[in-house]
């Protein structure tokens, strides 16, 4: 990337224009990955579920052994301050973070008292719902015994990144990751849904992946609209035989799938309904 999009950074109790440097080579987060973040969105003048994203950040910090420095309400207020620095119709990614600067007695574990807080907010256009192509990844999601899966931690993303890179090397947009038992868990960058016979299915949150805030919101919106939604164990065969597949996540919100392995698919009516319901929710419209 030759230059950053318009960016504002909150650090050391002040807002700074641009992507300012924050850490040195000796700091714990830089070399041992002790950072957590959350991602929210601002688009079309709204910031849906910003409060939930801020609350989850603090939960992630505690799970990774970092010190919570601000309440969720304080974080939300700061995020709204930052959003106000951009054009009112700007599409933004809102990323509050905690990170450790020092290790404890063992050096490997972070020292909670060294935790710092920052926010990065930057212009990121919302993708159009044109659809994605998916392939099964050879890489799998870890278990809770292996990694801190109850945190949205930076150290978890290299595994999903290599799955994404491998999928794209074969001409696909995203990768379906399985859990250690061979069941479908999530995509490399989002949660996954399918439909069959008018029922919506999504992998049960079994602790191998983060049950996203947008995922949970879409489940509730569909249920409130009268759709049957089941969280259950799903195989790759289930998805191969699905009527529709779509994904949910903070970056794109709701995105249809137009190819699963070698099978071409059309964006379906339930995916369209889920996206419409989400947009109405985001804008405070009755559903």
Per-residue confidence (pLDDT) for residue 1, from 0 to 100: 46
Q: Are 274 and 266 in contact (CB under 8 A)?
A: no
Mean pLDDT of the region 95-106: 95
Predicted confidence band at 286 (pLDDT cuts at 50, 70, 90)?
Answer: low
In which residue are the tokens 């059309």 written?
266
Q: From CA 108, how far away is CA 123, in angstroms rounded?
A: 35
Percent of the chain at pLDDT exceeding 90: 97
Q: Are 132 and 174 in contact (CB under 8 A)?
A: yes
Average pLDDT, the chain: 96
Q: Are 204 and 229 in contact (CB under 8 A)?
A: no
pTM score, whole prediction: 0.95
In total, the chain counts a number of residues equal to 287
**178 has pLDDT over 60:** yes
Q: What CATH architecture does domain 7-123 belong to?
A: 2-Layer Sandwich (3.30)
Q: Are strands 263-264 and 253-260 parallel, antiparallel or unpaired?
A: antiparallel
**121 has pLDDT over 70:** yes
Mean pLDDT of the region 213-231: 98
DSSP 191-233: EEEEEETTEEEEE---SSS---HHHHHHHHHHHHTT--EEEE-
Mean pLDDT of the region 114-143: 97
Residue ranges of alpha helices (H) inside the chain are 28-32, 50-63, 72-83, 157-169, 213-224, 236-240, 269-282
Mean pLDDT of the region 2-19: 94
Per-residue confidence (pLDDT) for residue 3, from 0 to 100: 87
Q: From CA 231, how far away is CA 277, in angstroms rounded?
A: 19
Q: What CATH architecture does domain 132-282 belong to?
A: Alpha-Beta Barrel (3.20)
**2 has pLDDT over 80:** no
> CB within 8 A of 161, min separation 6: which ones?
188
258 class by beta-carbon count within 10 Å (0-12 exposed, 13-18 middle, 19+ buried): middle
**72 has pLDDT over 80:** yes
Is 132-282 in the same CATH topology as 7-123?
A: no
Domain ranges (residues) in the chain: 7-123, 132-282
Percent of the chain at pLDDT exceeding 70: 99
Tokens coding 194: 């399918």
């Amino acid at each position: 990337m030759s230059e950053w999009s318009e960016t504002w950074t909150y650090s050391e109790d002040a807002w700074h224009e641009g992507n300012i440097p924050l850490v040195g080579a000796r700091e714990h987060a830089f070399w041992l990955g002790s950072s957590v973040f959350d991602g929210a969105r601002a688009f079309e003048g709204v910031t849906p579920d910003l409060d939930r994203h801020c609350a989850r950040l603090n939960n992630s910090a505690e799970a990774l052994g970092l010190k919570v420095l601000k309440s969720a309400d304080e974080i939300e207020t700061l995020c709204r301050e930052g959003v106000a620095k951009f054009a009112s119709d700007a599409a933004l990614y809102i990323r509050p973070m905690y990170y450790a600067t020092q290790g404890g007695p063992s050096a490997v574990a972070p020292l909670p008292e060294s935790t710092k807080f920052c926010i990065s907010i930057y212009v990121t256009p919302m993708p159009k719902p044109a659809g994605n192509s998916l392939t099964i990844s050879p890489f799998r999601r870890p278990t809770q015994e292996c990694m801190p899966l109850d945190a949205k931690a930076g150290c978890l993303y290299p595994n999903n990144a290599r799955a994404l890179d491998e999928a794209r090397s074969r001409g696909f947009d995203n990768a379906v990751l399985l859990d250690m038992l061979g069941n479908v868990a999530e995509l490399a960058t989002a949660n996954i849904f399918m439909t069959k016979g008018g029922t919506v299915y999504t992998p049960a949150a079994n602790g191998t992946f983060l049950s996203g805030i947008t995922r949970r919101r879409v489940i509730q919106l569909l249920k409130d609209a009268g759709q049957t939604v089941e969280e259950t164990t799903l195989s790759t065969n289930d998805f191969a035989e699905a009527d529709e597949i779509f994904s949910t996540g903070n970056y794109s919100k709701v995105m249809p799938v137009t190819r699963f392995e070698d099978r071409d698919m059309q964006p379906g009516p339930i995916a369209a309904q889920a996206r419409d319901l989400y947009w109405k929710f985001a804008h405070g419209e009755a559903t």
